[in-house]
Structure 1
């Protein structure tokens, strides 16, 4: 993508904010599950859960951002 091909529009901003809120909600839920599981297994959650959560955050963030670009492109192609 070139800079002029992807302007920041209202549609993209709304889509991005929705994706960010969804990502945080999913990460908080998964963090709660993983930390409880680590405590049950007598493992330190700081050492064992953080790598999984950061990897999941990267995966979700990249996927949701790609989905935002795709949705905005679709909306623009339909002329909405």
Structure 2
């Protein structure tokens, strides 16, 4: 089970790193090509930050659904149903 968690975490964090690198490259390209106002650059960074946070939440939920991570609430619900 421990190796399953480790491999899943490595996979998910590599996806997260890829998303961060791609979004940073896209942000840089947009700012340089279109010569945007600095305020718009900050708004783009905020949007990228929200995408990264959303991916982290989705990653944790998916790992919980697959059984890689067990949440305390899941244990309580399964104990009440049995």
| TM-score, normalised relative to structure 2 | 0.63
Counterpart pick for 1:68 among 51, 63, 77: 63
Structure 2 CA distance, aligned partners of 1:62 and 1:50? 18
Question: In terms of Rg, which structure is larger?
Answer: 2
| TM-score, normalised relative to structure 1 | 0.64
Match of 1:38 in 2: 31
Structure 2 CA distance, aligned partners of 1:37 and 1:64? 27
Q: CA deviation at 1:46?
A: 5.2
Structure 2 CA distance, aligned partners of 1:11 and 1:68? 11
Structure 1 CA distance, aligned partners of 2:8 and 2:63? 6
Does the Cα contact within 8 Å between 2:27 and 2:45 map onto a contact in 1?
Answer: no
Does the Cα contact within 8 Å between 2:31 and 2:41 map onto a contact in 1?
Answer: no
Counterpart pick for 1:50 among 38, 45, 52: 45
- Structure 1 residue runs of 5 or longer lacking an equivalent are 1-7, 75-80
Q: CA deviation at 1:38?
A: 1.9
